[in-house]
Amino acid sequence: MNSQPFKLLGLPTLVLRNVLQFFNPIELFELSQCSKRAFSIIPLSGSKKFNLRINERSTISVNGHYFGTYNNSPLSENNLHGTRTFMESTVKAYLHSEHELVSFWDNRNVGLKAVFFHLSKVFDCAIEYARFTDKIPAAIYMSIIDLITSRQSEIKDLTIWGDGLTDEHVTEIFDNLKVTDHLEMNYQYSVPRPIPFNTKSIDIWNSSWITMEHLKSMNKCTVIQLYRSTLTDQDITLFLNNWKSGKFPNLQYLFIKSSFISKTFTAFGLPSLTGNQSHEKTILGIEREIYRGVDVRRDDGIAAKVRFDDKEGVLQILVL
């Protein structure tokens, strides 16, 4: 067949759909940039079944294909292969590999929002993760959340972290979005309020606002990790008794670090550390480890290792 320009968009719809099904998300994105009409045909490829993620380090991915956003720099000038348009913004960009397209922005956070909004339009698919390892301005963070909640009521994985977020923002998020698999919070409530902690795994990096009532409401969780906690000996003893009696039936791993636990605290009156053995177990895809744990059984016979490190103020439970 000769190499004359081919009228791709003139093909019958069913044929066009079959052709598009051979493309990966980067190729579909590149095609969408050709014209408005090209943009409009992308959902024919079945892209509604794709999943869109905001990953760590402000990288967006669609089915394992990455759309990186970076700040403009002299270095970026060397590799530029053209421009791409995201929403109303046309910026420098290039194909870093067949799996990654990189774009450069005066403000990376603005870029993250524009790329995310744009891709959600191109692929019209569910948003699975919204993970943030960088603190982004609350206005941008909340506009991303608003877009997600306008499209769906659940998300698998969410990080709550924004510069300037308020208690009202965070409550609004919990009111509108159910986090099913993993919740990570870098936000610290100024006035603690009841939160629906019904996620499989919870990491709270500053949990000074977490009360015993909050901890009790995590009774469906598989993994709980609380850093900078203010829970006391009395709270921890109450929690341990609840856990032992079976009130946290799904809990596989717990980590609480609190400087409010006294040096003399002991779990169930047992010695804090024994032997020098470590135990590991992969839980929800991540390897968890406990070192020098004490053997404890729940009332239903389930065996676990419990460790309290009085120097660090860390309590750990690993269900075996």
Partner 1 sequence: MTSPASSSEVKYLIESSEGNTFDVSGAALRQSNTFNAMFLNIGADGPIPFTDYNEATLKKVFEYCEHSVNEENYSGPKHQDDLSKWDLNFFNEMDQKMFIDVINASNFLDIERLTSYCCERIARMLRGKNTQEMIKVITLPTAEELEAKQKVEEKKAAAAKKVAEKAAETAEKTETLEELPVQQLVQTTRNKLTRKYLSFSNE
State the residues that interact with partner 1 by CB under 8 A: 1-2, 4-15, 18-23, 27, 30-31, 33-35, 37-38, 81-82, 84, 94-95, 98
Helix residue ranges per DSSP H, 106-223? 108-123, 138-151, 167-176, 212-216
Hunting for tokens 């997600």 — which residue is that? 148
Helix (H) or strand (E) holding 314: strand 314-319
Separation between Cα atoms, residue 28 and residue 45, nearest integer Å: 8
Report in angstroms the alpha-carbon separations of 99 from 9, 55, 66, 105, 124. 25, 15, 6, 20, 20
Q: Which is nearer to partner 1, 2 or 282 (CB)?
A: 2
Residues in CB range of 229: below 8 A, 6 or more apart: 207, 208, 210, 256, 257, 258, 260
Judge whether 242 and 234 are in contact, CB under 8 Å.
no
Closer of 78 and 276 to partner 1 (Cβ): 78
Q: Minimum distance from CB of 186 to partner 1 (Å)?
A: 37
Q: What angle do CA 86, 88, 91 make, to 5 degrees?
A: 55
The β-bridge partners of 254 are: 224, 317
**Least spacing, CB of residue 117 vs partner 1, in Å:** 19
Work out how close the CB of 133 gets to partner 1 at its nearest, in angstroms, rounded to a whole number. Answer: 29
- The tokens for 5 are 């320009």
**Residue 80 beta carbon to partner 1: minimum distance, rounded to whole angstroms:** 12
- In whole angstroms, the minimum distance from the beta carbon of 34 to partner 1 comes to 5
Closest to partner 1 by CB, 9 vs 286, is: 9
Q: Which is nearer to partner 1, 34 or 320 (CB)?
A: 34
* CB of residue 94 to partner 1, shortest distance in Å: 8
Q: What is the C-alpha separation between 260 and 100, in angstroms, rounded?
A: 46
Distance CA(202)–CA(224), nearest Å, equals: 5
The residue among 37 and 263 lying less far from partner 1, judged by its C-beta, is: 37
The least CB distance from residue 86 to partner 1, in Å, is 13
Residue 52's nearest CA partner among 138, 140, 122 is 122
Written as six digits, the tokens of 102 are: 């990189």
